[in-house]
């Protein structure tokens, strides 16, 4: 099942993508793709629906029908850094012994095809295609063997990053990671039963048609179950929380010389089974 949110910014309605690629309206069934709708009972209720009996939404998704972030009312946007050994190497940093945790502010969240803004004063805005995990079942001190039962679904994330703010300005990484528009989510949430092996998905990112990243979730250092379990030692998870799990090599910072976004570019990225995003880069 592919769940989504469609419509103007701030006025998104819940929907699902049917087998023919049409959006079906869920607003008569649930108020949003958020909160307890994402808990196991809520997902089971949506799976029991017959999509053919739901209203068809006019327009083609990601064409003349805007999609918003695939999950609403996100409480936490937790990120894992340096989770691909080859990306750690291109960053000139050692492979971490434990997952590196940082945060994006929820105000960074935008739709999959919304513009990405380069912050004022930025000279080093960068891209990162990542696998996003959306929590369904709440939990704390989650055992790794049980961790995947806490997942409502997966999505594409572009972990847009400002490297000077992140690395050169002191303090933690967060201020280079959480700028407005730095967290496109979607196009849809794909439930685990439909996605298959989350540990072996191809992922890629192009800038102006040039392939910059080409990787696979199979080269993660810490897998999804380990990440959920590990993070749950330091925080409780609620339904609708998002975890983004690291990026493969090919980020702008890793090129020699580095290549950063200046404005006017188009980023296109995707993960096997999870769809694609397309963002125009503009200056704030």
Per-residue confidence (pLDDT) for residue 140, from 0 to 100: 98
Specify the residue for token string 């958020």: 34
State the CATH class of domain 71-283: alpha beta
How much is the pLDDT for 22? 98
Which neighbouring-strand residues pair with 271? 203, 275
Q: Rounded to whole angstroms, how far apart are CA atoms 130 and 237?
A: 20
What pLDDT does residue 233 have? 98
pLDDT for the residue 3: 98
> Closest Cα partner for 185 from 119, 236, 121, 240?
240
Report the C-alpha gap between 31 and 42 in whole angstroms. 12
Specify whether the CB–CB gap between 9 and 69 falls below 8 A. no
Residue 257 preceded by cis peptide, ω within 30: yes
pLDDT at 172: 87
pLDDT in the model for residue 6: 98
The answer to whether 156 and 112 are in contact (CB under 8 A) is yes
d(CA 69, CA 10): 10
Rounded Cα–Cα distance for residues 271 and 205 (Å): 9
Q: Tokens 């200046």 sit at which residue? A: 262
Q: Which segments of the chain have a pLDDT < 50?
A: none
Contact status, residue 239 vs residue 74, Cβ threshold 8 Å: no
- Of the candidates 198, 2, 38, the one whose C-alpha atom is nearest the C-alpha of residue 134 is 38
- pLDDT at residue 87, rounded to an integer: 77
pTM here is 0.97
Provide the 3-class DSSP secondary structure of residue 20. Answer: coil
Cα separation, 105 vs 181, in Å, equals 10
**Per-residue pLDDT, 88:** 76
Rounded to whole angstroms, the Cα distance separating 84 from 195 reads 21
Provide the residue ranges of all domains of the chain, joining segments of one domain with +.
71-283
Segment holding 89, helix H or strand E = helix 85-90
E strands, the chain, are: 2-6, 13-17, 23-25, 77-81, 100-103, 109-110, 116-118, 125-126, 129-135, 151-158, 161-162, 183-184, 189-190, 202-207, 210-216, 242-244, 266-271, 275-283
pLDDT at 160: 98
**How far apart are alpha carbons 109 and 98 in whole angstroms?**
26
Q: Are 80 and 222 in contact (CB under 8 A)?
A: yes
Q: What is the DSSP string of 145-195?
A: GGGGGGEEEEEEEE--EEHIIIIISSS-GGGGT-STT-EEB-S-EE-HHHH
Residue 170: what pLDDT? 84
């Amino acid at each position: 099942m592919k769940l989504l949110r469609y419509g103007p910014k701030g006025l998104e309605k819940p929907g699902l993508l049917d087998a023919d690629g049409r959006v079906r309206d869920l607003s008569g069934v649930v108020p949003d793709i958020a909160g307890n709708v994402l808990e196991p009972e809520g997902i089971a209720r949506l799976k029991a629906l017959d999509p053919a009996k739901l209203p068809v939404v006019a327009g083609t998704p990601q064409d003349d029908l805007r999609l918003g972030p695939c999950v609403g009312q996100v409480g936490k946007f937790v990120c894992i850094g340096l989770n691909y050994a080859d990306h750690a190497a291109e960053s000139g940093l050692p492979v971490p012994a434990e997952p590196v945790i940082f945060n994006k502010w929820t105000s960074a969240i935008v739709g999959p095809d919304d513009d990405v803004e380069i912050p004022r004063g930025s000279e080093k805005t960068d891209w990162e295609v990542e696998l996003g995990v959306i929590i369904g079942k709440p939990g704390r001190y989650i055992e790794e063997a049980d961790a995947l039962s806490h997942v409502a679904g997966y999505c594409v994330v572009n972990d847009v990053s400002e490297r000077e703010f992140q690395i050169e300005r002191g303090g933690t990484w967060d201020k280079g990671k959480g700028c407005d528009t730095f967290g496109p989510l979607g196009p849809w949430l794909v439930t685990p039963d439909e996605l298959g092996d989350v540990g072996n998905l191809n992922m890629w990112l192009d800038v102006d048609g040039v392939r910059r990243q080409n990787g696979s979730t199979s080269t993660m250092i810490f897998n999804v179950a380990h990440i959920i379990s590990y993070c749950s030692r330091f925080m409780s998870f609620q339904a609708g929380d998002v975890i983004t799990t690291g990026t493969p090599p090919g980020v702008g910072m890793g090129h020699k010389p580095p290549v950063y976004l200046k404005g006017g570019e188009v980023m296109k990225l995707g993960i096997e089974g999870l769809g694609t995003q397309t963002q125009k880069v503009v200056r704030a």
